Amino acid sequence: MDQLEILTIKDACQSVSLRFGRLQDDRRYVDLPELMTPDGTYTRLGEELAIADFIAWVKTMPPNNTRHFVTSTEIDIVDNNTATGLTYYTLYLYGGDEEPPYPLEGPFVVGEYREEFARTADGWKIKSREARIIFRKQK
């Protein structure tokens, strides 16, 4: 694998990872499956969910305003069709009814996404995404 192919794979994987968070912030849940393989999973709070089940779960959440701030994704290429990634994230959440700018009391959680990516006929997709909370706001 030459350097150009390595950079292309890393860019494609990072782009799909970043887009996932953006779609969540925009509450465009119906678009999330396009970023994942048909058997894609999302693990949150230790529970692995098929993407359809994850979407059903997030739709039950209050209509909070969120922003996911993420670092660049560290991508490790396993082979021509598989890669893994690690991204640190900070999630800000506002559940009130004020208009922007929203009051800020610090991040809701800080964590990391551990992802597996797979090359498909439609490009690189997320095969699994695990959200691990490392720090959380004290109650």
Q: How many domains does the chain have?
A: 1
pLDDT (0 to 100) of residue 66: 93
* Helix, strand, coil shares, percent, the chain, to 5: 25, 45, 25
pLDDT (0 to 100) of residue 77: 98
Establish how many alpha carbons lie within 13 A of residue 43's alpha carbon, considering only the half-sphere containing its beta carbon.
16
What CATH number corresponds to the domain at position 87?
3.10.450.50
- Provide the greatest CA pair distance for the chain: 52
Nearest to 108 by CA among 124, 123, 95, 125: 95
pLDDT (0 to 100) of residue 53: 95
For the four alpha carbons of 15, 18, 21 and 25, in that order, the dihedral sign comes to: negative
pLDDT (0 to 100) of residue 138: 84
Residue pLDDT, tens place only, 7-16: 999 999 999 9
Mean pLDDT of residues grouped by 10 in the chain (139 residues)? 95 97 93 96 95 92 92 96 98 92 92 98 98 91
94 is in which domain, residue-wise?
3-136
- The answer to whether 42 and 51 are in contact (CB under 8 A) is yes
Distance between CA atoms of residues 35 and 13, nearest Å: 10
Residue with tokens 């994704």: 73
Residue type, 64: N
pLDDT (0 to 100) of residue 44: 93
